[in-house]
Amino acid sequence: MELFYLLCSIVYTSITTLILSLFIPFHALLRRLVLSRAASSSSSEGAQSISLYEGTVYHQRRHPVHHSFQYQVRYALIDLDRAPHAPPNHLSPDEARRISDTNGPILLLTIPPSVGYEQNPLSVYYCYDVEDSATRLKKCIAEVTNTPWAERVTFIFDPHSDLVAKALHVSPFMDMLGSWNIKASEPGENLSISISVHHPEFQNYFTASLKAKKLCSSSTTDHAVFFWLMPHKVAIWIYWHAVKLWWKNVQFIQHPRYTAPTYRDDALVRDRKLQCCGLSDYNLHVQQRGSNKDCLAETSPRDRWFRWIDAKWPWS
């Protein structure tokens, strides 16, 4: 049944994409006319609140088979306080400041929707603090979305390096055990994000990274053209390599909502143990199995903030 829903979703997205793509040339022409008449208009100011990045996403799996791929990707870095319109389905700058306990600018790195379709495996909020007229990157907030269910988990992490218990069924070819080792550089002329999966049995068996470079001009670039079909290309890469993993006989793992309905609560417990136990070989194994009571007794770390969004119809 889920395969039927997936096929219907693909057909619907294809038709919508085709129809809305026909309007892009008219949108580009209209934007040129507006910018030529008023270079300081609100639309121009809105464009200046967005920086455009182009780079490469790289995935490498080392268990149970070796499988790697890379693809070109385009991202927008949005200053949420200066943007004229809040990006749909994302946190507001005030929400991000409250969650991260910061008081400075909030920048969102994301792939904007294109012709009626959105596909964002990972979006990152860069949360800054202002102290004595100095601005520094203090925390990041990650939004991880799975395909095709469109479920999402949002959580805080330390951009310099952090360990977070795996809290979402990201891929049907990975179980829920393990933790994410995540790191993000401060966005400038270049930016990078790396995530590796640490597993109690397979160790560091999966790595994903993004490396991107800021484009020189963004205010004069038509964003509808720049991001045209970008979400669709990401989805195609995800589905295509899922087929390849299935062809290589990698085990298909059912969604934990059917086999372990408490997987979200379990992730919270594992993450709390991670914060006080670290990533030693012993504790990495123990924090997955839930048997290290002494570790939690030694200290009482503040629980990390998590928020889940359920799958949309028809997956719900």
Q: So what's the pLDDT on residue 316?
A: 65
Query: For the residues 97-125, what does the mean pLDDT come to?
Result: 95
Q: Is residue 296 part of a domain?
A: no
Q: Is residue 256 part of a domain?
A: no
Q: So what's the pLDDT on residue 284?
A: 47
pLDDT digits (tens, 9 = 90+) for 71-102: 999 999 999 999 988 788 899 999 999 999 99
- pLDDT at residue 296 is higher than 90: no
In percent, how much of the chain has pLDDT > 70?
82
Count of structural domains within the chain: 1
Q: Is residue 173 part of a domain?
A: yes
DSSP the chain: -HHHHHHHHHHHHHHHHHHHHTTHHHHHHHHHHHHHH-TTSHHHHHHHTEEEEEEEEEEEE-SSS-EEEEEEEEEEEEETTT-SSPPTTS--HHHHHHHHT--S-EEEEE---BTTB---SEEEEEEEEEETTEEEEEEEEEEEE-TTT--EEEEEE-TT-EEEE--S---TTS-S-SEEEEEEPPPSSEEEEEEEEEETTTEEEEEEEEEEEE-S--TTS-HHHHTTTHHHHHHHHHHHHHHHHHHTTPPP---HHHH-TTHHHHHHHHHHHHHHHTT-HHHHHHHHHT--HHHHHH--PPPPPEEEEPPPTTT-
Q: Is residue 298 part of a domain?
A: no
**pTM as predicted:** 0.87
Q: Is residue 304 part of a domain?
A: no
Mean pLDDT score across all residues of the chain: 85
Q: So what's the pLDDT on residue 312?
A: 77
Range of the domain at 111: 2-250
Q: Is residue 310 part of a domain?
A: no
pLDDT digits (tens, 9 = 90+) for 23-78: 777 666 666 666 555 554 445 555 578 999 999 999 999 999 999 999 999 999 99
pLDDT digits (tens, 9 = 90+) for 191-236: 999 999 999 999 999 999 999 999 986 666 788 899 999 999 999 9
